[in-house]
Amino acid sequence: MNRWNNLIDLKSDSAPMEVINQRILSDATIEGTNLIVLVMAIMIACIGLNLNSVAVIIGAMLISPLMGGIVATGYGMATYDVPFIRKSLIKLSFQVGLAVLTASIYFLLSPLTSPTDEMLARTTPTIWDVLVALCGGIAGAVGNTRKEKSNVIPGVAIATALMPPLCTAGYGLASGNHTFFLGALYLFFINAFFIALSSFLVFKVLKVPPHGNIAEAHFRKQRLVLVTLGLLITIPSIYLAHQTVKDALQEVQVKSFIQTDMQFEKTSVVSYALKDDTLTVDLVGAVLTEEQIEQLKTAMSHYHRLQGITLSIIQGNRNLNTEEVQQLINARIEKQGKADKEASYKMLTSKYYPAYERAAADQQVIQTLNSQAPLLFPEIQSVRGGTLTALNHSKDTKNGDFSYDRFIAEVTVTTPLSADDALRLHDWIKGQVKMPVVMNVQTSDTPSEYYGNGIQW
């Protein structure tokens, strides 16, 4: 038993109580150096959030002095020093107010007004943030009470991220976005409370002496207050965690449904969005029939997480040009913190849709040729072909652009055509495709890989 006690012993290398008390008082001050560092941390965090720069945000976390006031509050609770707790909370409130106000002014003046992924990440706290704050608070309190300070404190500052949520709340205040403001403040409050609580627990394990004579009733009242606050703060985070897991699992099944059940030969999915229990899917290409749409709805109902979700199909006309397709994408794809994926969709659609449109037109032409050519020329067995692609080099473009300037037709015949029939067939195909034609005629019994042998010259 003694061996196990030694493994988790916090007292053997702890600093004297006088040293711990001095450290707490020093870290909790809001004057002089700490105030200057606080303002600099606020500005760095705002810039990092504004530019979506993780490295800059981490820098703000490392230099932020907010941890001092929170740990001091936990220390005050452990020593049952009500005046000290009151002073610590007043100092912490001043730091929080200064951070939110400064951030609001920054974002009001900043020309970059769009929310970034780093901001979005700090608006929906979950139970995992509670666990991080608890673990970080314990590690920070342990590190702060050692004889020699270690690198624990910087790690805790990064893990618990106190400054970025306050600056995100400032952005919400400046932009009038209540979701950002309340969500970010809730994240900060989770971090602050559970860091203070875990610090309180560490200080109690170290048996810091109480300041003055404290009645047993006071101990019970404090424990009741801490437990009540802990539950009130944790319950919303559990609900948000449940929603996060639910949304993640639902997104996985939506992707599976799109990739498995919505693969069509002439129709492609441009974008999709799940919102308000409705899965909206944008399609380009051949229009789906009512029967196909009903089959999709039936297939979607087989996915457990998609039961009760309404499927809405937005179909574009197969004759849409590139500009109209781009407008469709811009109108339907909402910004959801996936800027790179959206840009990729738009770029790929603009690049490849003309080729897709040309291929769809070629398929229609080939169907027409195979149905009508044998009626005009009984010797014809089948027709294959497609549009030839040419690369036009230009001074304005580095790689050139593509054009479609002729059609190649491979005709298989049972017996060779006469030269006159071959000429008439060539002219007829040219009229169908409305572009110059390169024609190759092969006999079905002895086809040639290198030249046509189906014309009698």
pLDDT in tens, 110-119: 998 888 888 9
Q: At residue 68, what is the residue type? A: G
Cα separation, 454 vs 411, in Å, equals 9
Cα separation, 133 vs 125, in Å, equals 11
| Helix-, strand-, coil-residue percentages of the chain, each rounded to 5 | 65, 15, 25
Q: Is residue 191 part of a domain?
A: yes
Which CATH number do you get for residue 150?
A: 1.20.1080
Per-residue buried b or exposed e for 227-253, using 16+ beta carbons within 10 Å of the residue's own CB: eeeeeebeeebeebbeeeeeeeebeeb
Take residue 453 and report the two structure tokens written for it. Answer: 């042998």
Last residue of a domain, one of 212, 235, 263: 212
For the chain, what percent of residues have pLDDT higher than 90?
Answer: 11
Counting Cα atoms < 13 Å in the Cβ hemisphere of 454 gives 29
Cα separation, 340 vs 343, in Å, equals 5
Question: How many domains, in total, are found in the chain?
Answer: 2
Q: Is residue 414 part of a domain?
A: yes
Q: Is residue 96 part of a domain?
A: yes
Q: Is the model's pLDDT at 218 over the cut of 60?
A: yes
Range of the domain at 144: 8-212
Q: Is residue 77 part of a domain?
A: yes
Cα separation, 63 vs 9, in Å, equals 30
For the chain, what percent of residues have pLDDT higher than 70?
Answer: 78
Instruction: Let me know: does 257 contact 303? Beta carbons within 8 Å.
Output: yes
Q: Is residue 204 part of a domain?
A: yes
Last residue of a domain, one of 163, 190, 212: 212
Q: Residue 276's pLDDT is what?
A: 80
Instruction: Let me know: does 183 contact 122? Beta carbons within 8 Å.
Output: yes
Last residue of a domain, one of 152, 181, 212: 212
Those residues with Cβ within 8 angstroms of residue 120's Cβ, 6 or more apart along the chain or in another chain: 337
Q: Is residue 189 part of a domain?
A: yes
Instruction: Let me know: does 163 contact 45? Beta carbons within 8 Å.
Output: yes
Least confident of 233-247, 274-288, 309-323, 392-406: 392-406
Q: Is residue 59 part of a domain?
A: yes
**Predicted model pTM:** 0.58
Task: List pLDDT tens digits, range 410-440.
Answer: 999 988 888 888 888 998 888 888 888 888 8
Which CATH number do you get for residue 381?
A: 3.30.300.30
Q: Is residue 55 part of a domain?
A: yes
